[in-house]
Amino acid sequence: MTVVKSDIEIARHAAKKPVVEIGAKIGIPPEHLAPYGYDKAKLSAEFIRSKRGDRNGKLILVTAVSPTPAGEGKTTTTVGLGDGLNRVGKKAIVCIREASLGPCFGTKGGAAGGGYAQVIPMEDINLHFTGDFHAITAAHNLLAAMIDNHVYWGNELNLDTRRITWRRVMDMNDRALRDIATSLGGVANGFPRESGFDITVASEVMAILCLATDLADLEQRLGEIIIGYRFNKTPVYARDLQADKAMAVLLKDAMQPNLVQTLENNPAFVHGGPFANIAHGCNSVVATTTALKLADYVVTEAGFGADLGAEKFFDIKCRKAGLKPAAAVIVATVRAMKMHGGIAREDLGRENISAVKAGCANLGRHMENVRQFGVPVVVAINHFTADTQGEIDALKAFVAAHGAEAVLCRHWAEGSAGIEELAHKVVALAESGSGQFSPLYEDELPLFDKIETIVKRIYRGAEADADSSVRDQLRQWEDAGYGNLPVCMAKTQYSFSTNPHLRGAPVNHVVHVREVRLAAGAGFVVAICGEIMTMPGLPKSPSAERIHLNEDGLIEGLF
């Protein structure tokens, strides 16, 4: 059962079907699918509207233990479970995020799954795809250009140029753009000031697109973006610059979910991809809510581990979109458990049952956390060839002792055949009706109390800590009417604490909130705990040096 083919080789040899046939499987007429080539299509707004009254299928969240360098395979499991559910006779749609182009030229592998659990065409999905991210980049930067243009022509709004918070974005790993001085070179180029670029996925426009329910809601939210402050400290909105409507024009097509297929020709919506630290890290609400109208089961994922990804999925996306997840799958691997149990990466090849047992503390806490939201869990052990039976048994025993089941999954090597058991368990769990979803905190809770609730109940820290300036800022936003927003925690994904090296299940740590930001258009308050990088750099030998077209014009070196 040795799989030697690379992801791209497997993807290239897939028996791909025309995307209209994939759409037909879930009742989408061809006239409501705008094709992008023969294997990608955008779903029409009209069709989406026509389905509003229909009943919903069941929503399954795939989340994971705290990530380790060993890799957990969350997207791979999401895609595999979608195929598995179809295999056991359920109509299922996979909903995942789009990939950011820039990081593909650094070190990142593909974001379309792996092995025999992938969405295709994976080269397109990882590069330009249907142009959504380019549209977001353009909309974001149009607003930026209009801000400096407003100042240039007299600054009627009385913007304090030192307090312009709206930066520019680019879908590229380019550290040289993190901090820049703009409008140099003389009078014709405007008033010099400091600014910078973030990567496109960190744009508030991305978060807005992923939370908006339709084009009208999108436009409304774009108008509510705060781009900076006047000399009197009052906020200036995108609407004040009359930028919101033109931005919506640029995002018109990007708002429509993209339909593609898995290697097994099952439908997948790949749409939106906000950062999982300063944003909520989930695919679009439009894609998820539409998929729920078309299928018995919708399998989706959230970024990072369950402490960050699942918490935001529940407290931001589900809260805002009125979603009720029926069950959650927590992906764990024997390797990750060993790392959480204190084993170094280079020693992962050796059996170590006691390390697995020790590392399970991390998994156990994520299980408890997800259950706090009233969502029943099942654990997927994403199988790696070096895993030993003793290690697998230890992991299963731990989960069983904590009142759930862990299922060994071989979808990476075998596709849906390797994940049938998990599919059956998920169906049983979802149909048991044991799910009673509710968010972790009420809308009415003060902002700092929301942060503290997450710190104590999810991260199991002793307390949330912040300077008085941060607390004052939160109170000001409460006074301005933003107190009912959920909070979006920006914290290292590698630990429950703010120390990325503290694996396992640390307790009693203090979580320091360094800075808070208001994403008024997206509708959340970002709490930044530790250093968060919003513009990556390239490594010394970036993969761009190896990415090329082969003699047949096919892309090589991307993964």
Catalytic residue annotation = 74, 76, 97, 108, 276, 304, 384, 412
Please report, as residue ranges, which positions from 30 to 49 form the binding site for its own copies (by CB under 8 A): 34-38, 45
- Told to check if 182 binds its own copies by CB under 8 A, we report yes
73 is in an annotated binding site: yes
CB of 548 to its own copies, least distance (A): 4
- Told to check if 175 binds its own copies by CB under 8 A, we report yes
75 is in an annotated binding site: yes
- Told to check if 279 binds its own copies by CB under 8 A, we report no
- Told to check if 20 binds its own copies by CB under 8 A, we report no
341 is in an annotated binding site: no
- The 3-class SS string of 195-231 reads ECEEEHHHCHHHHHHHHCCCHHHHHHHHHCCEEEEEC
Nearer to its own copies, 164 or 485 (CB): 164
- The 3-class SS string of 302-341 reads ECCCHHHHHHHHHHHHHHHHCCCEEEEEEEECHHHHHHHC
Choose among 210, 240, 208: nearest CA to 221: 208
Between 132-152 and 204-211, two packed helices, what is the crossing angle to 10 degrees? 130
Please report, as residue ranges, which positions from 347 to 386 form the binding site for its own copies (by CB under 8 A): none
74 is in an annotated binding site: yes
CA 251/CA 231 separation, integer angstroms: 32
Q: Is 237 helix (H, G, I), strand (E, B) or coil?
A: strand
Nearer to its own copies, 37 or 403 (CB): 37
- Told to check if 540 binds its own copies by CB under 8 A, we report yes
CB of 142 to its own copies, least distance (A): 6
- Told to check if 245 binds its own copies by CB under 8 A, we report yes
Between 244-251 and 215-223, two packed helices, what is the crossing angle to 10 degrees? 140
Please report, as residue ranges, which positions from 39 to 98 form the binding site for its own copies (by CB under 8 A): 45
Between 447-457 and 468-477, two packed helices, what is the crossing angle to 10 degrees? 120
Nearer to its own copies, 29 or 322 (CB): 29
The helix or strand, by DSSP H or E, that contains position 48, with its residue range, turns out to be: helix 45-50
Stretch that binds its own copies, among 204-212, 226-234, 244-252, 509-517 (CB under 8 A): 244-252
CA 458/CA 179 separation, integer angstroms: 34
CB of 537 to its own copies, least distance (A): 7
Nearer to its own copies, 173 or 352 (CB): 173
Q: What is the DSSP letter of 51?
A: T
Residues whose CB is less than 8 angstroms from the CB of residue 116 and which lie 6 or more positions away in sequence, other chains included: 3, 10, 80, 263, 411, 412, 413, 414, 415, 418
Residue type, position 442, single letter: E
- Told to check if 170 binds its own copies by CB under 8 A, we report yes
Please report, as residue ranges, which positions from 101 to 120 form the binding site for its own copies (by CB under 8 A): 101, 105
| b/e 415-445 (16+ beta carbons within 10 angstroms → b) | bbebbbbbbebbbebbeeeebebebbbeeeb
CB of 329 to its own copies, least distance (A): 34
Nearer to its own copies, 253 or 465 (CB): 253
Nearer to its own copies, 52 or 245 (CB): 245
Choose among 98, 426, 401: nearest CA to 275: 98
Nearer to its own copies, 193 or 424 (CB): 193
CA 180/CA 521 separation, integer angstroms: 25
- Told to check if 142 binds its own copies by CB under 8 A, we report yes
Structure tokens at 377: 């869990």
CA 79/CA 81 separation, integer angstroms: 5
Longest dimension (CA), the chain: 72
Indicate which single residue of 88, 180, 361, 502 sits in contact with its own copies (rule: CB under 8 A).
Answer: 180
CB of 392 to its own copies, least distance (A): 40
Stretch that binds its own copies, among 144-152, 411-419, 449-457, 500-508 (CB under 8 A): 144-152
CB of 528 to its own copies, least distance (A): 17
Indicate which single residue of 276, 287, 292, 538 sits in contact with its own copies (rule: CB under 8 A).
Answer: 538
x/- letters, 480..519, toward its own copies (CB under 8 A): ----------------------------------------
Stretch that binds its own copies, among 151-159, 323-331, 387-395, 404-412 (CB under 8 A): 151-159
CB of 97 to its own copies, least distance (A): 19
71 is in an annotated binding site: yes
Q: Which residues are annotated as a binding site for ATP?
A: 68-75
